[in-house]
Each structure stands twice: as structure tokens, then as C-alpha cells.
């Protein structure tokens, strides 16, 4: 895999190139559609709370297949699953470009999401094997690049295609990229044999899928129903909650559950999970709100909207570069708490959005908010991993990723419903429409604030773990005073 000098061999970088291409397609489609929601709603005669399912359906599909990706790779081999995922994603993209209604577009986005959901984790597994443990951090950082850059360039690329071609082109552009990536995968990805896997818990997968869709759909129906207590809301919401509860009970009984829910006995993992869920809701929900604000209230075109969204991505990119060092110095809990607090404070200017708020102020707030998000998500996950065994980490990774996506889909559904109800009351008045966005961002603040408490819990758990490690370490006689001092400082 590598030569004596530790230099990464060329074939590993070729494999990484294939994985990066697939990752770019999957992650880019999480954000590229956001600038098109206003146009899609007008062309397909759908309201905001209806057209948001183009985003929510994709995120739910991603969340549903991520837990299955590990099993599928063991059962059919990494290479086979990766190429199948490419085919599904590319085919789903073409179908999206041919859609004639909101319902068909949402259905095709689900197909696209199933393929995209397996691309990233399967690609990571291929890279882990190809690079070796010594070179893994360097190679893995390469596939982190598109994750950071997608929020920056996704809306801009989408805006350019929307402005100069059509909304269909934001999906059809994946066809040539998908074909190129598939050809490269056939030539460059190493052939591997299936390892064999335990039987997949199809019943558990079905129950969980029904539960997640039921909860999200029920919450989304509050927009058209006007209240949380309508039958159209309570019935799917009740079915969804029952499905999630049934899945948890089943996962505690079967020998090979789809997700290892016993991990939640660990308070650090539970705290990290709540943080990840809330931040996912605040991040993805707000990513839908801002493009709509620029287009609906300020009358900006899709290209300008994409450019105006760049500051948040830049802030997140800077924070992700610094979060590793901050976590090493202060711990994941403190770093995640600091990032969440920055995100919360930076959301205040959006609550006060007006029809003529300075773009400089908005851009500055977006940079700071992006920085806070970048400083919170990965450190929270790192704090969870630090208290788990290597075997548990294998099960924890898909759960945390799934929670982030589910949080994003539920957050998007709730926030767009709230926005839609206030926009209907606002009519054609620009100041009133701006107030509708400000009110919706109050909910974003509430969701972000909900992530603060578990980060405090994470910090306390880490502090106790460090103290126990100090107390358990053998102490040379001359170092006793220093150790007592370190123990006091960590307390």
C-alpha cells in the first residue's frame, strides 16, 4: 500500500479520486436543490411546505440506507455496492430531470437518495482498506474536502444552471459525471470478495422506515392542517412514533439488530446523539430558509442567491480545519458546546431579518454561524467515539450519521411548515414576509439551544474520564505532587 518512506502510492490516490467524485455528487445534491425550491414551487404549482419534500425525501432516503451500507458491503463486496450505488444515484438523477409533478419528483429523489446514501460510507470503507492505518488521516481528509465545499459551491452551481439552463439541468448534470465516475470505478477500484454477513433485519428496516416517514410526514402536515391536533397530523405522527418504539423494542431482542440501540446506555453517546440530531435540524433547516429569503423577500435571482450563501460555507470550512486541534486541547464536549453557543448567538441577527437588512450584516452573521456549526458537529462525534470500544464505533458511526440526516429532514419539514403559515398571513407585503422568516429563525434558535445541554453533559463526562485516567495511572514518588495538581485542574 505504501513504500518504505511512508509516501502514499499513486494507486491509492487514484482510488481516492474515484471516491471523491462519488462523494461530490452525493453531498452536492443535498444543497444544490435549495436555490431551486422557489422555482420548483412555481413551475409545479406547489406551496413551500409541499415542495420541501424534494429536500426532505432525499434526506430521509439517505438516512434509511446508511445503516444498511455496512451489511451490504460485507454481503456483496465494497466494489459491487459502490458501483450499484453510482448506477442508482445517476438513474435517479435522470428521472428527477424528467419529472412532471411534485409527487414524481419526490419519488425520484428518494431513488437518488438511496444511491447517494450508500456512496459515502461504502467509499470510506474502500479507502480505509487501500490506504492503511498510517496514511488514513491524510487520505480521509481528501474526501472531507467535498463535504466542506458542497455548501459553498452547491447553491452557486445550482443557481447558474437554474438561471441559464433550467431546473431540470440541476439533476441531469449528474448523468455525465455519473458515467465518468462509473467508468473510473470499473478501472481503478480494487476487486474484493464478499466477507459474508449475518441476515439483514428486513423487518426492522421496514419498521424504522415507516416510523421515520410517519413522524416527518405528520409534522409536515401541520402546515396544511393549521394545528398539531388535527387527524391528518396525529394519525401519521402516532404511526411514526409507534414504529420507532417498535423498532427499539425489536432491536433489544434480536441477535443482529439493524442499529445497536444498547449504545444509548452510555451517557456520552446519548448526549452526542442528541447534539448531532439538533444540529442537523438547525443546519439543514436553515439551509432551506436562507435561499428562500433571498429570492422571496429580496427578489434575487438564483445565481445571486448562490453567491450570497457562500459565507456560511467559508465559516464552516475554517472551523473544521481548527476543530481537531481544539478538541485535542479542550475535549470534544467543551469544543462542541462552544461551537453550539456561537451558532446560537450568530442566529440572533436572522431573527431580526427585515426587507432591507444589509447584506454585509447577513454575510458576517453567516460566516460566524457557519463557524459555530463547523466547531460543533465533528467534536461531538469525537467525544462519543472516545468512550466507545472499537467494535462499538463500527455501530456508532451509521447511527450518528443517520441521526444527523433524520434531524435534517425533520428540521426542514417543521421549519418550512412554520414559514409557510406565516407567509400566507403576510400576503404580498415585503416587511411582513421578512418578519415571517425572522419568526421561523426563532425556532431555529430553539432547536440550537436544545443542543447546548447535552454538550455540557459531554464535557462533564470527559472531565471525569480524564480524572479517572489520572488516578488509575501508576505514580512515581517524585511525580505525586504534579499528579495531584493535574487531577485538581481536570476537576
In DSSP notation, 20-38 reads HHHHHHHHHHHHTTGGGHH
CA 186 to each of CA 15, 18, 126, 489: distance values in angstroms, whole numbers, following the listed order: 11, 10, 14, 55
What 3-state DSSP class applies to 2? strand
- 480 Cβ contact list (under 8 Å, min separation 6): none
Position 88 scores a pLDDT of 92
Beta bridge partners of 2: 8
Position 342 scores a pLDDT of 93
Q: Positive or negative, the Cα torsion across 197, 199, 203, 206? A: positive
214 with 237: CB under 8 angstroms?
yes
Which burial class, exposed, middle or buried, applies to 25 when counting CB atoms under 10 A from its CB (0-12, 13-18, 19+)?
buried
What is the C-alpha to C-alpha distance for residues 220 and 216, in angstroms, rounded to an integer?
A: 6
Residue with cell 474526501: 143
267-292 helix and 332-351 helix, angle to the nearest 10 degrees = 30
Q: Which residues of 198-210 are buried (b: 16+ CB within 10 A; e: fewer)?
A: eeebeebbebbbb
Position 477 scores a pLDDT of 52
Rg (Cα) of the chain, in Å, rounded?
A: 23
pTM of the predicted structure, to 2 decimals: 0.72
What 3-state DSSP class applies to 337? helix
Residue with cell 462525534: 381
Q: Which residues of the chain have pLDDT under 70?
A: 1-9, 30-31, 128-129, 131-152, 195-197, 220, 222-228, 384-395, 397-398, 469, 473-491
Q: Give the 3-state secondary structure of 44-83.
A: CCCCHHHHCHHHHHHHHHHHHHHHHHHHHHHHHCHHHHHH
Reference 115, options 25, 197, 196, 32; nearest CA is 25
Position 147 scores a pLDDT of 61
Position 475 scores a pLDDT of 53
Reference 67, options 108, 117, 23; nearest CA is 117
Reference 29, options 148, 143, 170; nearest CA is 170
39 with 162: CB under 8 angstroms?
yes
What is the C-alpha to C-alpha distance for residues 289 and 440, in angstroms, rounded to an integer?
A: 9
Reference 352, options 436, 423, 438; nearest CA is 438
Neighbours of 393 (CB within 10 A): 13
Tell me how many degrees the CA angle 420-422-424 measures, rounded to the nearest 5. Answer: 70
- 394 Cβ contact list (under 8 Å, min separation 6): 70
Neighbours of 245 (CB within 10 A): 12
63 with 406: CB under 8 angstroms?
yes
Q: What is the pLDDT of residues 87-136, one digit of tens each?
A: 999 999 999 999 888 889 999 998 998 888 788 777 777 776 676 655 55
Amino acid at each position: 500500500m505504501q513504500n518504505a518512506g511512508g509516501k502514499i502510492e499513486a494507486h491509492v490516490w487514484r482510488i481516492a479520486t474515484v471516491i471523491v467524485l462519488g462523494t461530490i455528487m452525493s453531498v452536492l445534491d443535498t444543497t444544490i436543490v435549495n436555490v431551486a425550491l422557489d422555482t420548483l414551487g412555481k413551475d409545479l404549482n406547489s406551496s413551500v411546505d409541499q415542495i420541501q419534500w424534494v429536500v426532505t425525501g432525499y434526506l430521509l432516503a439517505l438516512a434509511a440506507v446508511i445503516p444498511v451500507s455496512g451489511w451490504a458491503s460485507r454481503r456483496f463486496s465494497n466494489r459491487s455496492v459502490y458501483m450499484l450505488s453510482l448506477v442508482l444515484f445517476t438513474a435517479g438523477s435522470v428521472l428527477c430531470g424528467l419529472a412532471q409533478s411534485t409527487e414524481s419528483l419526490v419519488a425520484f429523489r428518494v431513488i437518488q437518495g438511496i444511491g447517494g446514501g450508500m456512496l459515502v460510507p461504502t467509499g470510506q470503507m474502500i479507502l480505509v482498506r487501500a490506504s492503511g492505518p498510517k496514511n488514513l488521516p491524510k487520505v480521509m481528509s481528501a474526501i472531507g474536502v467535498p463535504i466542506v465545499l458542497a455548501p459553498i459551491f452547491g447553491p452557486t452551481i445550482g443557481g447558474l444552471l437554474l438561471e441559464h439552463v433550467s431546473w431540470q439541468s440541476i439533476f441531469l448534470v449528474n448523468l455525465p459525471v455519473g458515467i465518468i465516475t462509473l467508468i473510473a470505478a470499473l478501472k481503478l477500484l480494487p476487486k474484493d470478495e464478499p466477507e459474508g454477513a449475518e441476515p439483514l433485519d428486513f423487518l426492522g428496516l421496514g419498521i424504522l422506515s415507516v416510523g421515520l416517514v410517519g413522524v416527518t410526514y405528520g409534522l409536515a402536515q401541520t402546515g396544511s392542517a393549521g394545528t398539531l391536533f388535527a387527524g391528518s397530523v396525529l394519525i401519521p405522527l402516532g404511526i411514526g412514533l409507534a414504529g420507532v418504539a417498535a423498532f427499539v423494542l425489536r432491536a433489544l431482542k434480536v441477535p443482529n439488530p439493524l442499529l445497536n440501540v444498547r449504545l444509548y446506555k452510555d451517557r456520552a453517546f446519548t448526549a452526542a446523539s442528541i447534539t448531532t440530531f439538533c444540529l442537523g435540524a438547525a443546519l439543514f433547516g436553515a439551509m432551506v430558509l436562507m435561499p428562500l429569503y433571498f429570492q422571496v423577500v429580496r427578489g434575487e435571482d438564483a445565481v445571486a442567491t448562490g453567491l450570497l450563501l457562500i459565507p456560511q460555507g467559508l465559516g464552516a470550512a475554517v472551523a473544521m480545519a481548527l476543530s481537531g486541534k481544539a478538541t485535542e486541547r479542550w475535549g470534544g464536549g467543551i469544543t462542541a458546546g462552544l461551537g453550539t453557543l456561537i451558532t446560537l448567538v450568530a442566529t440572533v441577527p436572522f431573527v431580526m431579518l427585515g426587507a432591507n437588512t444589509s447584506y454585509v450584516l447577513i454575510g458576517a452573521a453567516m460566516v460566524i454561524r457557519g463557524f459555530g456549526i463547523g466547531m460543533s458537529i465533528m467534536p461531538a462525534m469525537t467525544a462519543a467515539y472516545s468512550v466507545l470500544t472499537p467494535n462499538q464505533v463500527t455501530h456508532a458511526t451509521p447511527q450518528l450519521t443517520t441521526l444527523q440526516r433524520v434531524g435534517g429532514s425533520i428540521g426542514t419539514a417543521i421549519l418550512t411548515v412554520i414559514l409557510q403559515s406565516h407567509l400566507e398571513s403576510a400576503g404580498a407585503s415585503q416587511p411582513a414576509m421578512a418578519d415571517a422568516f425572522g419568526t421561523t429563525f426563532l425556532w431555529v434558535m430553539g432547536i440550537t439551544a436544545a443542543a447546548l445541554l447535552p454538550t455540557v453533559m459531554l464535557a462533564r463526562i470527559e472531565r471525569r474520564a480524564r480524572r479517572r485516567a489520572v488516578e488509575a495511572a501508576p505514580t512515581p514518588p517524585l511525580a505525586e505532587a504534579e499528579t495531584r495538581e493535574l487531577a485538581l485542574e481536570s476537576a
